[in-house]
Chains A and B, each alone.
Chain A
Amino acid sequence: MKLLEYQAKEVLASLGIAIPPGEVARNADEAAAACARLGPVAVKAQVPVGGRGKAGGIKLARTPDEARKAAEQIIGMDIKGLRVPLVYCEAALEIEREIYLGFTVDRDARANILMLSARGGMDIEQVAEESPGSIARLYPNPWRGPLDFELTQLVFDAGLGDLARPLAALIKKLYRAIPDYDALTAEINPLVVTKTGDVIAGDAKLESDDNAAWRHKDLEQKYGAFIEGDPYEIEAKKRGLTYVSLDGDIGIIGNGAGLCMGTLDLVQRAGGRPANFCDIGGGAKAEVVENALAVILMNPKVKGVVINVFGGITRGDEVARGIITARDNLKMKLPLVVRLSGTNEEEGRDILKRNGIEPGVNAWAAAQKIVELSRVGIR
């Protein structure tokens, strides 16, 4: 679960990290009122993606009127495919310098990595590419967390020795996001040093591991409803499916992530454009297939669906009957091509054919078939 900035900041504040005063605004009036209380503010789009500033989602407002105008422009705008549901109005900071501080999972090292750089701000990725040496790194022990002397080394390595004490203390607080919230990423960029010498989180990114959602039900309850996203992805999540929206028009269902990704590749190779990635896992049970089809058919752009099921132990005839039931329950009229293999696969293909569904002999043939049928637009 990727938290919005104001939510991540609430979490940081609960860990004892200083954040600027701020208020959430759902409309222009609320933004104006927030500015009247806070003074000059940054009006910031709340979407769980990076690059908001560059997309025009952050504007400075000195007066309530300017805050109103900024909120009018930002609320409802589209940033990387996400509609902005609300803004966060935050007291503007007197910035002396900007630091980068972030934890994430380094999958190659199979460990958490902590990174600190004196060159924080919008261009940190460029800094990483051009002068990787300017980013100090530490792999803290995952059982006990970073120790004081390790943090002292890190801070001096980053050239921030003058801030050694406050930074080491702050990093220890941020680290709590890992054991307490199963954080996969906890990032403060910029970490602002103000003209008065305070160290304050200028922005915050926090992603909590979905695999651990069962022990962070509080996060979901408090924040889940406010995170707007792709409507199909939200519906798919409710139905317990692994689903990612794409911008094409051919619906894709596969069992297993690799097989599903392989099917995307084949559809693209055949000249089609996938509308989604949907992994229904092993077994291909009728109910799961129906859920997957239901979500895909919500999308009016979809012109056809291909289902790729490799049943190792699963029986092909059972899978075929399940798919037919799902199609009939949903009164699906669009072209449907099914590639299935496994025990009784020939029988499965016969059942499909008798019920007006095109069976693909292999995944490549199925991909070509659905691309062809979607172009014609008939079954």
Chain B
Amino acid sequence: MSILIDSSTRVIVQGITGREGSFHTEQMKSLGTKVVGGVSPGKGGTTHLGVPVFNTVADAVKATGANASGIFVPAPFAADAIMEAAAAGITLIVCITEGIPIQEMIRVKDFLRGYPQARLLGANCPGLITPGEAKIGIIPQRITKPGSIGLVSRSGTLTYEVASALSAAGMGQSTIVGIGGDPVLGLTFRDVIEMFEKDPATTQVVLIGEIGGSDEERAAELLARGTRLKAVAFISGRTAPEGKRMGHAGAIISGNRGTAKSKEEAFRKAGVTVAETTDDIVGLLR
């Protein structure tokens, strides 16, 4: 088993005819992902990479029964693409696009409250992969291996780094989820860990966090309540300097949360092992 995605997930790609969309659709298909269609306004009725193209997500869902979507459209159109997918009944929306204005994402988050069945991953994330079964996004299949470790991360390349180290050590993964590094995003560490907790195929989790925000602290609070999962966490940016801040508003609302120290302490208090470097993670899981 796995979380969020498996070989039966029916996937469409929004922006399938673009350069990135095309390239990654082929990668997704080569792993065996069930890509059932694509969306590109004005190109409805054509076929691209062997799948039918539709003008809108609603048309695609009606014709293909798709339940998941990968979004590769340019930033100025991505927020609308997310809302379009939710309104069309898609239940897993994976937005790879980087650079969506934050105020648009705040409006998207508000909009999604009206579609509780829709789960958004990202934006600005590498997507997710269940090794050997299916993926949406850009995580290279080559560095993954089927197994029982759940991996959830805010950073793209650090995810690859850790996944390839795990795979090289013979430690496979149940599902790898890149939640993305934007300040306003969809699924959080806490959401994903709750799913891993319920997935019988997952026995251990690796969490790769970053400075800023308090999603890591919230995940630690959840793990502190008790978990069957063996957990290891790594926080990047412990030596990064404090941002060149202006105004007081940020400090008023965040207080002392958000530093690497606060996150590491929260994990230790929850009984989670904290890795000093990504190279240490493999050893700590043995």
- A111 partner, pick from B109, B140, B245, beta carbons under 8 A: B109
Contact B250 A104 (CB under 8 A): yes
| Contact, CB under 8 Å: B110 / A141 | yes
Partner among B181, B212, B247, B276 whose Cβ is within 8 Å of the Cβ of A102: B247
Residues of A within 8 A of B76 (CB): 214
A2-B246 contact given A269-B277, A310-B161, CB 8 Å threshold = yes
Chain A nearest CB from B229 CB (Å) reads: 22
Q: Is A146 part of the binding interface, using a Cβ–Cβ cutoff of 8 Å?
A: no
Most chain A beta-carbon neighbours within 10 Å: one of B143, B164, B208, B244:
B244
B252 within 8 A of A: yes
A107 close to B213 (CB less than 8 A): yes
Interface flag for B237 (CB, 8 Å):
yes
Docked-complex contact B103 and A110, CB < 8 angstroms = no
22 A-B pairs, CB-CB below 8 angstroms? A2-B246, A50-B246, A50-B248, A104-B247, A105-B106, A107-B183, A108-B253, A111-B109, A125-B251, A125-B252, A135-B252, A142-B103, A185-B249, A254-B157, A256-B156, A259-B158, A261-B240, A265-B236, A265-B238, A265-B277, A341-B161, A363-B277
CB <8 Å contact, A312 and B107? no
Residue among A81, A185, A277, A341 making CB contact with B250, cutoff 8 Å = A185
A residues within 8 Å of B by Cβ?
Answer: 2, 48-50, 80-81, 100, 102-108, 110-113, 115, 124-125, 128-129, 135, 141-143, 178-179, 182-185, 187, 189, 205, 207, 209, 211-212, 214, 246, 254-259, 261-262, 264-266, 268-269, 274, 277, 282, 310, 312-313, 341, 343, 362-364
State whether the Cβ of B174 lies closer than 8 Å to any Cβ in chain A. Answer: no
B184 and A363 contact, CB distance less than 8 A = no
Contact between chains at B184 and A105 (CB < 8 Å): yes
CB of B138 within 8 A of CB of A257, answer no
> Could you list 10 further interchain pairs (A-B, Cβ under 8 angstroms) beyond the known A105-B183, A125-B251?
A2-B246, A80-B244, A110-B184, A110-B185, A182-B102, A184-B102, A187-B248, A189-B247, A265-B238, A313-B138
B239 to chain A: which residues have CB within 8 Å?
Answer: 264-265, 268-269, 274
Closest residue of chain A to B163, judged by CB? A312
A102 engages B249 (CB within 8 Å): yes
The complex places the Cα of A135 from the Cα of B110 at a distance, in Å, of 24
6 interchain residue pairs of minimum CB distance: A258-B155, A256-B157, A104-B249, A312-B140, A259-B157, A212-B101
A107 (CB) vs chain B CBs: closest residue:
B183
Min CB gap B168→A, angstroms: 10
A50-B246, A111-B106, A187-B248 are known contacts. Are A277 and B240 too (CB-CB below 8 A)?
yes
Give residues of chain B (212-230) contacting chain A, Cβ–Cβ below 8 Å. Answer: 212-215, 218
* B278 in the interface (beta carbon within 8 A): yes
Residues of B within 8 A of A265 (CB): 236-239, 277
Q: What's the minimum C-beta distance from A378 to chain B, rounded to whole angstroms?
A: 26
* Residue of B whose beta carbon sits closest to that of A113: B253
The answer to whether B164 touches A262 (Cβ under 8 A) is no
B interface size (C-beta, 8 A): 63
B279 touches A363 (CB 8 A): yes
| CB-based nearest B residue for A314 | B140
A126 CA to B76 CA, complexed, in Å:
39
Cα distance, A102 to B159, chains bound together (Å): 36
With a cutoff of 8 Å between Cβ atoms, the chain A residues found around residue B215 in the complex are 108
Contact B247 A264 (CB under 8 A): no
Contacts known (A143-B107, A214-B76, A258-B181); A207 close to B247, Cβ less than 8 A: yes
- Which of B110, B181, B245, B248 touches A142 (beta carbons < 8 Å)? B110
A104-B253, A259-B158 are known contacts. Are A48 and B109 too (CB-CB below 8 A)?
A: no
Task: State the CA gap A254–B237 with chains docked (Å).
Answer: 13
Tell me how far the C-beta of B186 lies from the nearest C-beta in chain A, rounded to whole angstroms: 9
A102, A246, A262, A313: which has the most chain B beta carbons within 10 Å?
A: A262
Q: For residue A81, which residues in chain B have a CB less than 8 angstroms away from its CB?
A: 244
A112 x B106 contact (CB < 8 A): yes
Return the CB mask of B139-171 against A: 1 if under 8 Å, else 0. 110110000000001111111110010000000
Q: Which of A105, A124, A207 contacts B248 (CB 8 A)?
A: A124
A266 touching B246, Cβ below 8 Å: no
Give the Cβ gap from A210 to chain B, nearest Cβ, in Å: 9
> In the complex, A313→B143 CA distance in Å?
10
Contacts of B210 in A (CB 8 A): 257-258, 261
* Complex contacts, B212 vs chain A, CB 8 Å: 107
How distant is the Cα of A115 from the Cα of B252 in the complex, in angstroms? 9
Q: Which of A100, A112, A128, A262 contacts B236 (CB 8 A)?
A: A262
> What's the Cα separation between A100 and B253 when bound, in Å?
14
Are B103 and A212 in contact, with the CB atoms below 8 A? yes
The answer to whether B100 has its CB under 8 Å from any CB of chain A is yes
Q: How far is the CB of B145 from chain A (nearest CB, A)?
A: 14
Inter-chain CA distance A132–B237, complex, in Å, is 29
**Contact partners of B255 in chain A: CB under 8 A:** 128-129
Check if B200 is an interface residue, CB within 8 A of chain A.
Answer: no
Q: B208 — nearest CB in chain A belongs to which residue?
A: A258
Contact call A259/B155, Cβ cutoff below 8 A = yes
Which of B101, B109, B153, B254 has a CB less than 8 Å from the CB of A258? B153
A108 CA to B213 CA in the complex, in Å?
Answer: 6
A115 touches B249 (CB 8 A): yes
CA distance A102 to B210 in the complex (A): 27
